[in-house]
Amino acid sequence: MSGILAVLEAGHKLSAETLGAAGMLAGELGLAVHSVEPEGEYTADGYTAGLEALIREKGFRYVLFPHTYQVRDYAPKLATRFERALIPDVTRMRVEQGQVIATRQLFQGKLNAEIRAVGEPVFVSLQAGAYGVGDGVESIVEKMPEVGGEVRQRPEARFREAQRAVDLSTAQRIVSVGRGIQERENLGLIEDLAAALGAEIAASRPICDNGWLPMERQVGSSGQTVAPRLYVAVGLSGAIQHLVGMKGAKTVVAINRDENAPIFEVADYGLCADLFEVLPELTAAIRAVRGA
């Protein structure tokens, strides 16, 4: 058996991330990446039968999915056809001695479970935002075989998640604000810093619950999951519910006057200071460097 199959969904935001994860595995394992974007109307029977035929024909060792409503409908059934179990909602993968170990979170991110798959093929679905967009990932495009009498279902209108005006999962730079901002009127400091950095604004749950920022800008276990190149946490204590949503950030900068704030434990750079004194100077310095 050889190769990695990335199963995509037409127009879905996770497509590039799924390929990015596949590219990482391919580099570690020396395998080629194949991708398939199923066509036609969705039915669990049709997708299961078509992908089963393709996987058996090509002998894929690893099959990666985005963790979507649709995937949760058919992927466990597909894995069962091979007497395997789907490893769902994975946040990280690594290779040890030629074997893939998948990490998924339990109890809203309080615990991480590491799962070493036994046997092949291995079926994994990836959490939104777990991986950034893959750079230059090339894949061989496969066509899913058509199936006939095996489809017992009639498709209805597809479920659509509420459209978000802001998709933080694709942002490369994010400035996130917590209760340390104290009042809604002080958000101008965050807006100025974000504008200087060319970043999106995000927030912890209390800020959104208070109506200071829309709920679509919330990061955390009950909000969006993000993986930017830069994550600036301003006045954020770093509760586990928030850390769950931003753990994939490449570089974390924390600004908080509480030296014991948990956010400093995950920060690459930390500044223990009053944000009201620091932010104006930081924003001015960034503008000077960038010539803005």
pLDDT per residue over 47-79, tens digit each?
898 999 999 999 999 999 988 888 999 999 999
**HEC-encoded secondary structure of the chain:** CCCEEEECCCCCCCHHHHHHHHHHHHHHHCCCEEEECCCCCCCHHHHHHHHHHHHHHHCCCEEEEECCHHHHHHHHHHHHHCCCCEEEEEEEEEEECCEEEEEEEECCCCEEEEEECCCCCEEEEECCCCCCCCCCCCCEECCCCCCCCCCCCCCCCCCCCCCCCCCHHHCCEEEEECHHHCCHHHHHHHHHHHHHHCCEEEECHHHHHCCCCCHHHEECCCCECCCCCEEEEECCCCCHHHHHHHCCCCEEEEECCCCCCCHHHHCCEEECCCHHHHHHHHHHHHHHHHCC
Round to whole Å and give the CA distance between 150 and 45. Answer: 7
pLDDT at residue 161 in the model: 53
Is residue 263 within 8 Å of residue 206, measured between CB atoms? no
Q: What is the CA radius of gyration of the chain?
A: 21
Tokens encoding 19: 């390929």
Provide the residue ranges of all domains of the chain, joining segments of one domain with +. Answer: 4-141, 168-290
The 10s digit of each residue's pLDDT in 25-53 is 888 888 888 888 887 778 888 889 899 99
Residue indicated by tokens 């998924």: 104
Domain 168-290 indexed as CATH 3.40.50.300: no
- CATH classification (class only), 4-141: alpha beta
pLDDT at residue 272 in the model: 95
Residue 171: alpha-carbon gap to chain centroid:
11
Q: Minimal CA–CA distance to 109: which of 260, 225, 274, 233? A: 225
Label residue 86 exposed, middle or buried (CB < 10 Å: 0-12, 13-18, 19+). buried
Is residue 192 within 8 Å of residue 175, measured between CB atoms? no
Round to whole Å and give the CA distance between 260 and 102. Answer: 31
Residue indicated by tokens 């935002």: 129
Tokens encoding 279: 């932010």
pTM of this prediction exceeds 0.85: no
| Identical fold between 4-141 and 168-290 | yes
Residues of the chain with pLDDT under 70: 1, 10-17, 108-109, 132-137, 148-149, 153, 155, 157-165, 292
pLDDT at residue 291 in the model: 76
Round to whole Å and give the CA distance between 149 and 142. Answer: 22
